């Protein structure tokens, strides 16, 4: 029997608007192999290639959508088949009540209000990592 060392955990970061620090070094420090994409469309393509253990995504409320209220609903609907994925959501505090509506329908592992600090992201990543059973 061959001993196989598991590879790094995968993290998908969806950075659509930004406005917060580049957390790529933090992802690496936590041992994640991170893939950064700039749109939900690119995120959907990435999910076809591999389902990550953690997703960091922005919640962007958009009142002009006909059948949804944000950029995350399509992603979260797809993740219903993968409840093991931990979604860390970054949001604008003035839209927390709208995010609460999304959270009532879909599991969000952690929600971090802007401005996001490295300490807050570190805590969320640590909790996500611990919940996978792979933390040291």
SS3 labels along 61-80: ECCCCCCCCECCHHHHHHHC
Look up residue 93 and give its DSSP letter: G
Residue 42: pLDDT band by 50, 70, 90 thresholds?
A: very high
For the stretch 6-37, pLDDT in tens is 568 999 999 999 989 999 999 999 999 999 99
* Mean of the per-residue pLDDT values of the chain: 90
Residue 44 lies in a domain: no
**Rounded distance, CA 79 to CA 107, Å?**
9
Q: Is residue 47 part of a domain?
A: no
In a domain, 84, yes or no: yes
Residues spanned by the domain of 94 = 9-34+53-131
Number of domains in the chain: 1
Taking residues 114-120, what's their average pLDDT? 96
For range 38-61, the mean pLDDT:
95
Mean pLDDT (whole number) for 84-108: 95
| CA dist., res. 23 & res. 39, Å (int) | 17
């Amino acid at each position: 029997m061959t001993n196989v060392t598991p590879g790094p955990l995968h993290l998908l970061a969806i950075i659509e608007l930004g406005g917060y620090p580049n957390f790529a070094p933090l992802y690496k420090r936590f041992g994640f192999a991170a893939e950064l994409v700039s749109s939900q469309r690119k995120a959907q393509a990435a999910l076809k290639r591999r389902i990550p253990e953690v997703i960091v995504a922005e919640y962007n409320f958009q009142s002009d959508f006909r059948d949804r209220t944000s950029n995350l609903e399509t992603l979260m609907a797809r993740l219903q088949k993968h409840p093991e994925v931990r979604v860390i959501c970054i949001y604008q505090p003035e839209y927390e009540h709208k995010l609460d509506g999304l959270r009532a329908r879909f599991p969000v592992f952690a929600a971090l209000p802007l401005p996001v600090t490295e300490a807050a992201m570190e805590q969320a990543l640590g909790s996500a990592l611990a919940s996978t059973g792979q933390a040291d």
